[in-house]
Structure 1
Amino acid sequence: MTTPRPPKGHFNVLYFASAGSFTSKNVEALPAPLPLSKLFETLEERYKGIKESVLDNSLVTVNLTYVNMPEGEDDEANGDEPVIIQEGDEVAIIPPVSSG
């Protein structure tokens, strides 16, 4: 499946497994730029309950690179360079997958 390009001024969020079930979407375009530290907050505003149900246990990639989700403002205060999701970026939400 080919992912559509996001509209100008947006980035794509890809939802896998339970994230896709929760949102009823495989992909969604969100306005860019967006600080990575605001991603979960933005998704929680759109999908009440997604943070606790899905996001808190998910891995996140930006342009196929795994990223550590900032815990809050303290990360920037510790000298960590804030990650800003840019126009055209691709973010993936990857919940844990169980096998059996």
Structure 2
Amino acid sequence: MSTPKAPPGTFTLLYFAAATSYTRRQHDHLDAPLPVAALYDVLEKRYPGIRAKVLSSSALTVNLDYVDVDEEGARGEAGMVIKEGDEVAVIPPVSSG
């Protein structure tokens, strides 16, 4: 299944595994620009509890490049900004058995 193109002024946020289960969505379109450091706050408001249950152990990519959210938060205003048309993904850890 393909993800619809982000409407103007937004970026696409993809959810995988536990993130999909928690949000009950495969993707969202959020307003851009948005500092990476603010993304988890936006998601916590939209999906209360997601930070502790999913995001704290997940990886984040922006346009297929892994991003360290804690490092971006420490940079403050100088940190990475998610732009219109970007593709961001929340990737929870995967277990195998």
Q: TM-score, normalization: structure 2?
A: 0.93
Q: Is the 8 A contact 1:17 1:95 kept in 2?
A: yes
Q: Using the alignment, how far apart are the partners of 1:3 and 1:70 within structure 2?
A: 28
1:48 corresponds to which residue? 48
8 Å Cα contact 1:36/1:70 also seen in 2: no
* Counterpart residue number, 2:91: 94
CA deviation map 1:58-89 (0-9, x unaligned)? 0000000001013575x226xx9410000000
- SS, match of residue 97 in structure 1: coil
- Whose helix proportion is higher, 1 or 2? 2
Normalized against structure 1, the TM-score is what? 0.91
Structure 1 stretches of at least 4 aligned residues deviating more than 4 Å after TM superposition: none
Give the 3-state SS of the residue equivalent to 2:40 in structure 1: helix
Distance, in Å, in 2 between the alignment partners of 1:58 and 1:20 is 12
Q: Any gaps of 5 or more consecutive residues in structure 1?
A: none
Name the aligned partner's letter for residue 29 of structure 1. Answer: H
Root-mean-square deviation (CA), in Å?
Answer: 1.7
Q: Identity over aligned residues, as a percent?
A: 51
Matched length: 97
